[in-house]
Amino acid sequence: MHFRTRAIHVGNEPDRATGAVVPPIHVASTFVQPAAGEWGEFDYSRSGNPTRKALERTLADLESGWGALAFASGMAATHCVTMLLRPGDHILAGADIYGGTYRLLHKITAPAGIEVSLAPSSDPRAFERAFRPTTRLVWIESPGNPLLSITDIAACAELAHQHGALLGVDNTLATPVLTRPLELGADIVMHSATKYLGGHSDLLGGALVVKDPELWKRLYFIQNATGAVLGPWDAFLCSRGLKSLEIRVREQCRTAARLAAFLAADRRVARVLYPGLKDHPGHDLAARQMDGLFGAMVSFEVAGDLEAARRLVQSTRLIHLAVSLGAVESLIEQPALMSHASYDRADRLAHGIADGLVRLSVGLEHPEDLEADLDQALARAVG
Amino acid sequence: MSDSSNPSANRPSEGFSTRSIHAGEDRLKPGFAMTDPIFCAATFTFANTRAVIDFVEQKQPREEYARYGNPTEKVLERKLAALDGGESAIVFGSGMAAVAAVLLAKLQAGDEVVLFDECYHRTRELSAKHLGKFGVATRQIPACDYEAMEAAITPRTRLLISESPTNPHLSVVDIERFAAIGKRHGVETLIDATLATPYNVRPLEYGVDYVLHSCTKYLGGHNDLLAGVVVGSTEKLEPIRKLRGVMGMVCGPLNEYLLLRGLKTLELRMKRHNENGQAVAEFLAGHPRIEKVYYPGLPSHRDYEVARRTMRGFGGLVTFLVRDAGDEQTSRIVDALRIPRIGPSLGGAESLVEQPCHMSYHDFTPEQRRAVGIPDNMIRLSCGLENAEDLVSDLKQALDR
């Protein structure tokens, strides 16, 4: 069956007891057991919950994985992966990654005795040089955030495996609609389900999907032992969001492409970073790796300074000024002051995140309304 | 958009999807949250007696007790009103609660209602049987027979009611003509546009007084809530709102939130339902085992021209008759389908299928079913959001068995 059909039906089988077309939301924290020492399928909701499991089954199917684990947030999911490592191990991460991941790796993982380094994953040769004999985990995003650099996932998987490391891919921005990293050789897919998977700005969630049952068991052990699980209400909302995932993402990508072209042709904009534009360095790769679409995030630099960019993001009338992305509502933000504020400034500039960079998450509004809003905000920002 | 003081303003200049996402909502919400909070409060407290007095003297509009309204509901009502191009909306616990509220608020003993006989059978039952006990007379006339409708109007007629499209025959009412008949006779008109949704048609724009939806269907869109709504002018809705406050058939904040969430993807979903309905109808129309397909997007449909003129798309509901098949042969096709689940209702992400003679009309005698055009070989399919090719190939395997 096609992706969209599976997104609606896998993990969403009618309730056997009542026939309910949508499975019940199991809010129970604990489950009655058949006998002392004899365990049913579910015992305690940290270890497993039917509503969470339904979501995990859908996600595993959509990402072509063996199993999934749902977490309370994307960061909780990423943290779970880092807990596979031991002191002395090395994590090699892409340079264009979410600020929260940067913070986790440098402020939580590194002090625990794990080596952390960043290198541009979109440049395979430079990336390969950054491997160490102790590299056990490679962590990439494609498209990257916020520069929307494109990384060759299959090539990274090959590199990681040559060096005896696992490849983890934060697939939040591409979504399984456009890219399924496990099919390209990755070992772990991670999602901030808060973004496109949930899609409605109304839940926090994270997920890991893997294709190796043994790896799933190791991650499950960590999740159960540390407890950052997704609650049943949010799992329900996320499952509900998945039913419209494909149509949302495709529509949002189409609108983003149009807005990127609009911005690229505008003199008030210095530079547009959108993989769908022919001059984007990752354009050809994205065209192969993203099912013909290029995502719904558009980053650009205003022809002006930090203040001009600040005026721009504060002048939109329809687009909201907020971090996060991937929802039906369009959002705009300035990475230097918001999503990537947890980078050291020097490191941030070194990674190409200029003060005047603006990141736009394109929602489901009518494209003409969004274009008109950007137009008037640019007029206020740059004049 | 920056004017958050008037969030309910109908913004016709904006695209439908923009309205469905933003209309009715304050730009800055409580706690600066991206989404509206779910107010589970049963009651709302006052700072002091002065505040109570100001409220009851209507100097200070605010919430009082959740049966009269709650903040989540107000956002939802403003959004639904904006989508249908109406001034106000009132949300109910189900579509039937909305129908009941309109009838009870607008009619009294001695009044008459005229409705098309293809209206939902529970609507007809409510009007004829239950309101009949209170002295309201119901006249049923054949669907889309405008001359019969005009002839049925008497000086005591207060309301003309129809669905459009109807269920399960998918007759499409010429809403302009329907509204004009009402205006000519000074009778109010109501269209239940559940199957169309405001994406496909907005009856108020044709001069209808009330538009009603079972929000359980496309508006909620995920088969996970029950709700109803009536939209119209604030003045005309006022007695209905008062009645809801008395009778209490409210929707509840959790359902209201889910409905609000569903509306954000209404345009996308309806485009997909329209495409899937059209693809499935065209496939069935060309299949040798199918005797007849009821779908307004097919040129063979009686109301094709009216539908094309007034509707942007024709929805996901497709009704069809199996050629030379009795009840059991028809059931075998229903049972052989793998994607659509068997069940009543329609308009959700998941496709649903039913054989009306066993489901909605099971308590009718065969003669009664024949009289209302529900033969045993009729199947009603609500196409969900699945891939159209998957739905068509599923139908193909079920029909080819």
Q: Is the predicted pLDDT of residue B212 greater than 80, yes or no?
A: yes
The range of the structural domain enclosing residue A149 comes to 3-242
Q: Which neighbouring-strand residues pair with A135?
A: A90
Alpha carbon of A13: minimum distance to chain B alpha carbons (Å): 10
Name which of B390, B391, B392, B393 to mutate to probe chain A: the one with the most chain A Cβ atoms within 10 A of its Cβ.
Answer: B390
Domain boundary among A196, A224, A242: A242
Residue B154 is encoded by which pair of tokens? Answer: 């008497």
Question: Is A247 in Cβ contact with B268 (below 8 Å)?
Answer: yes
C-alpha dihedral, B362 to B289 to B165 to B185, nearest 10°:
-90
pLDDT at A127: 97
Q: Is the predicted pLDDT of residue B3 greater than 90, yes or no?
A: no
Catalytic positions of B are 67, 120, 192, 217
Q: Is the predicted pLDDT of residue B83 greater than 50, yes or no?
A: yes
Q: Is the predicted pLDDT of residue B9 greater than 80, yes or no?
A: no
Average pLDDT, chain B: 94
pLDDT in tens, A218-249: 999 999 999 999 999 999 999 999 999 999 99
Residues A221 and A321 in one domain: no
Give CA A157 to chain center in angstroms. 18
Task: Please report which helix (H) or strand (E) contains residue B56, including its range.
Answer: helix B49-56
Q: How many CB pairs under 8 A join A and B?
A: 106
Residue A363 is encoded by which pair of tokens? Answer: 């929602």
pLDDT at A25: 92
Question: Is A12 in Cβ contact with B350 (below 8 Å)?
Answer: yes
pLDDT at B371: 86
Residues A212 and A303 in one domain: no
Residues A300 and A164 in one domain: no
Mean of the pLDDT values across residues B134-153?
96
CB-based contacts of A378: which residues, under 8 Å, 6+ apart?
A: A266, A268, A269, A302, A312
Task: Find the catalytic residue in A195, A211, A311, A348.
Answer: A195
Mean of the pLDDT values across residues A206-222?
98
Domain boundary among A242, A261, A287: A242
CATH of the domain at A340: 3.90.1150.10
Question: Is B350 in Cβ contact with A9 (below 8 Å)?
Answer: yes
CB A378 within 8 Å of CB A266: yes
What is the three-class DSSP state of A174? coil
Residues A249 and A152 in one domain: no
Strands B352-354, B341-342: parallel, antiparallel or unpaired by DSSP? parallel
Mean of the pLDDT values across residues B331-341?
97
Residues A237 and A326 in one domain: no
Domain count for chain A, please give it: 2
Strand B88-92: give its sheet, edge to edge. Answer: B88-92, B228-232, B210-214, B188-192, B157-163, B112-116, B137-141
Residues A331 and A206 in one domain: no
Q: Is the predicted pLDDT of residue B10 greater than 50, yes or no?
A: no
Burial class of A19 by CB neighbour count within 10 A (0 to 12, 13 to 18, 19+): exposed
Residues A28 and A107 in one domain: yes
Q: Is the predicted pLDDT of residue B48 greater than 60, yes or no?
A: yes
Angle between helices B266-285 and A245-264 in degrees, nearest 10 = 120
Task: Find the catalytic residue in A52, A61, A98, A102.
Answer: A98
Q: What is the CATH architecture assignment of B16-263?
A: 3-Layer(aba) Sandwich (3.40)
Map A222-258 to HEC letters: HHHHHCCECCHHHHHHHHHHHCCHHHHHHHHHHHHHH
Domain locations in chain B as residue ranges? 16-263, 266-399
Name the pLDDT band for A287 (thresholds 50, 70, 90).
very high
Question: Is B222 in Cβ contact with A243 (below 8 Å)?
Answer: yes
pLDDT at B4: 36
Residue A67 main-chain phi, psi, to 5 deg = -155, 160
Q: Using beta carbons and an 8 Å cutoff, which residues of B are at the interface with A?
A: 1-2, 14-18, 21-22, 27, 34-35, 222-224, 258, 261, 264-265, 267-269, 271-272, 339, 341, 343, 345, 348-350, 352, 384-387, 389-390
Name the pLDDT band for A344 (thresholds 50, 70, 90).
confident
Residues A234 and A221 in one domain: yes
pLDDT in tens, A193-203: 999 999 999 99
Q: Is the dihedral of CA B237, B241, B244, B249 positive or negative?
A: positive
pLDDT in tens, A89-106: 999 999 989 989 999 999
DSSP E strands in chain A: the ranges are 67-71, 90-94, 115-119, 135-141, 166-170, 188-192, 206-210, 269-273, 297-302, 320-321, 331-333, 357-361
Assigned CATH topology for domain B266-399? Aspartate Aminotransferase, domain 1 (3.90.1150)
Q: How far apart are CA B144 and CA B169, in angstroms?
A: 12
Judging contacts by C-beta atoms under 8 Å, the chain B residues touching residue A320 are: 27, 34
ipTM of the complex: 0.84
pLDDT at A334: 95
CB A349 within 8 Å of CB A288: no
Residues A231 and A273 in one domain: no
Count of positions (residues) in chain A:
383
pLDDT at B5: 35
Name the pLDDT band for B12 (thresholds 50, 70, 90).
low
CATH of the domain at A32: 3.40.640.10
Strands B188-192, B157-163: parallel, antiparallel or unpaired by DSSP? parallel
What is the three-class DSSP state of A315? helix
Task: Find the catalytic residue in A89, A96, A152, A170.
Answer: A170
Q: Is the predicted pLDDT of residue B319 greater than 60, yes or no?
A: yes
CB B214 within 8 Å of CB B229: no
Pick from A305, A319, A303: nearest CA to A378: A303
Pick from B38, B41, B32, B36: nearest CA to B24: B36
Residues A270 and A188 in one domain: no
- Asked about A98 being catalytic, the answer comes back as yes
pLDDT at B204: 98
CA distances from A321 to A205, A329, B6, B11 (A): 21, 11, 20, 22
Q: How far apart are CA B380 and CA B346, in angstroms?
A: 10
Residues A194 and A273 in one domain: no
CB A381 within 8 Å of CB A302: yes
Judging contacts by C-beta atoms under 8 Å, the chain B residues touching residue A200 are: 35, 261, 264
Burial class of A103 by CB neighbour count within 10 A (0 to 12, 13 to 18, 19+): middle
Residue A264 main-chain phi, psi, to 5 deg = -65, -25
Residues A249 and A228 in one domain: no
CB A317 within 8 Å of CB A352: no
Q: Is the predicted pLDDT of residue B186 greater than 80, yes or no?
A: yes
Question: Is B265 in Cβ contact with A364 (below 8 Å)?
Answer: yes
